[in-house]
Amino acid sequence: MAKSRPCEICMQPIEPERIDILPDTQLCSEHARKIAKYGGEFTVTAIREKISKAGSLKKNYGGVTPSKRRNHRALEQLRDEYLEEQEQKKG
């Protein structure tokens, strides 16, 4: 079981079960649900590998290489939303 670490948004501990499932996550479950409206915590793309020779008419494709990146724009939007909520609670 992985150790807990703080959520990037609220600084509350991330559930160890969530870290076990998604080791790259920086969000608690609550903020992971909220970030979905901005496109999610990660963006995933896939590139199909072509293994045929250059100029060949055969279509020999290899595997698919997935790539996962953090969605920084969504994180910024979620952080702004969280800060606005905190200010509304204060005042």
Calculate mean pLDDT across residues 33-62: 83
The pLDDT of residue 60 is 67
Q: pLDDT, tens digit, for every residue of 35-44?
A: 999 999 999 9
CA distances from 5 to 12, 27, 63, 72, 90 (A): 8, 9, 35, 19, 26
What are the φ and ψ backbone dihedral angles of 42, each rounded to 5 degrees? -125, 150
